[in-house]
Amino acid sequence: MIIFWRLLLAHLLSDFTLQFDVVNRLKRQHVWGMLLHCLTHFVVSAAFTWPYLGQVWVRVGPAGITGWWSLALMFALHFGVDELRIYSMKTMGYRDGTVSFLADQFVHFYVLFMISPIAIPDRNFFLAQKWIGIACMLVLVTHFTTVLVYFIEKDLFGKPFPHFDEKYFLIFERVVLWAFFLTSGYWWLLFAAAWIYQIFYVRHKRVIDMSLLNVVLSVALTVTFGLWTRFMYYGFL
């Protein structure tokens, strides 16, 4: 599972944290923008899995596929999946919403699973090297949750992508709440509960404009990823 989790972190960073607005616009406008995005994914993946690239990751019959060829396959499939998504929106009028976003991410995760050397069953499937796992959870809490909530609100209310202040205010709120799950003992539960109350209070006072659905989803996803983080860090909840 070491390689899978490293590839997952590389994907999350490349598809969310490092996919700046300009890159997102370019990949929707021209094939060179898509190549830039996919090349970023390839480079980050190679950097995280560098010690293992010469090893055989997958066997197809008698043939062994090394890490380099696995990443080349990942690059090609990532390019094809993202180009198909954009083509379906531009040519076929397919709506870019929550379903297409989740389907896109599922396919990417599935590709990473298929090219990784994974033993089935593996009791450590949901665990990872601590720093890799924690980094994955941090990206999920910050940028992944921001995009997911955006698509849900867009589908339900037609809301645009959040402005700078709303986006990073909620990222800050989620990161602080998530950090409580890394503390030892049980007192953190009180602080986490107080912080959740504070989030709802800020929304109630209209300090910043955000929907109730946004706050509920942000808290629910942060708690979910926080519990997962705690389990990876301590080995128990």
Of the candidate ranges 4-13, 25-34, 112-121, the one whose mean pLDDT is the lowest? 112-121
The neighbour count for residue 154, using CB atoms within 10 Å, is 17
Question: Is residue 207 scored above 80 in pLDDT?
Answer: no
pLDDT tens-digit series, residues 138-194: 999 999 999 999 999 999 999 988 888 888 999 999 999 999 999 998 899 999 999
The pLDDT of residue 112 is 96
Give the residue-averaged pLDDT of 91-97.
82
pTM: 0.92
47-85 in b/e form (b: 16+ CB < 10 A) is ebbeebbeeebbeeeeeebebebbbebbbebbbeebeeb
Whole-angstrom CA distances from 12 to 128, 133, 137, 176, 198 are 15, 12, 10, 20, 29
Separation between Cα atoms, residue 232 and residue 227, nearest integer Å: 9
Separation between Cα atoms, residue 68 and residue 64, nearest integer Å: 11
The pLDDT of residue 125 is 62
Q: Reduced to 3 states, what is the DSSP secondary structure of residue 212?
A: helix
DSSP at 19: -
The pLDDT of residue 204 is 85
What phi and psi values does residue 60 have, to the nearest 5 degrees?
-115, 95
Name the band, by pLDDT with cuts 50, 70 and 90, for residue 34.
Answer: very high
Q: Give 149's strand partners.
A: none
Do 237 and 186 contact (CB within 8 A), yes or no? no
pLDDT tens-digit series, residues 49-64: 999 999 999 988 888 9
Question: Is residue 121 scored above 60 in pLDDT?
Answer: no
77 residue type, one letter: L
102-139 in b/e form (b: 16+ CB < 10 A) is eebbebbeebbeebbbbeeeeeeeeebeeebbbbbbbb
- 35, 33, 38: which is closest to 15 by C-alpha? 38
Percent of the chain whose predicted confidence (pLDDT) is above 90: 68
Give the residue-averaged pLDDT of 215-226.
97
* Better pLDDT: 237 or 204: 204
